[in-house]
């Protein structure tokens, strides 16, 4: 049995495409043409509490989609300043930035907290960490 498409059905597909296209734009300003680039800066942290017997050897893992990048670790400092820049390439609608802060140790690194950020507009922010302290970061979409 052969199905025959009625003349009105192609318009339904076209309208559905238009609705979906506009819904998946983030905050109505990111287009899906692949021209928008995500730049992230991990500025620093304040008041970290990684080691009970000493100061924190902190670093940050930044994830966006399937890509994870890492700052260098800063030894013996509960208030590290990285000012480390990352380029994550093309912006993908629906992906979020994830910042995980760690204290580097000999065998196992201690997790100090996480920030999950929806990417929508250029931003400079900070977030409180579960283990104590605050992470400062920023990002821009070019």
Per domain, the residue ranges of the chain are: 37-141
- pLDDT band at residue 119 using 50, 70 and 90 as cut-offs: confident
The sign of the CA dihedral 23, 117, 40, 94 is: negative
- Judge contact between 124 and 138, C-beta under 8 A: yes
* CATH, domain range 37-141: 2.60.40.150
Measured CA to CA, the distance from residue 136 to residue 123 in angstroms comes to 11
pTM, entire model: 0.75
Predicted pLDDT of residue 25: 46
Cα dihedral 113, 62, 107, 105 sign: negative
Band (41; pLDDT cuts 50, 70, 90): very high
By three-state DSSP, how is residue 59 classified?
strand
């Amino acid at each position: 049995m052969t199905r025959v498409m009625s003349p009105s059905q192609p318009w339904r597909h076209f309208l559905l495409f238009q609705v979906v296209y506009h819904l998946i734009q983030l905050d109505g300003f990111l287009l899906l043409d692949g021209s928008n680039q995500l730049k992230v800066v991990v500025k620093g942290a304040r008041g970290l509490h990684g080691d009970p017997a000493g100061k924190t050897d902190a670093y940050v893992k930044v994830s966006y989609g399937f890509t994870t990048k890492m700052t260098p670790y800063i030894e013996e400092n509960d208030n590290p300043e990285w000012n480390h820049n990352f380029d994550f390439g093309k912006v993908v609608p629906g992906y979020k930035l994830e910042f995980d802060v760690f204290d580097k140790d000999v065998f196992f690194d201690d997790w100090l907290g996480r920030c999950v950020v929806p990417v929508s507009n250029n931003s400079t922010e900070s977030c409180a960490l579960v283990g104590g302290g605050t992470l400062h970061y920023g990002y821009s979409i070019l």
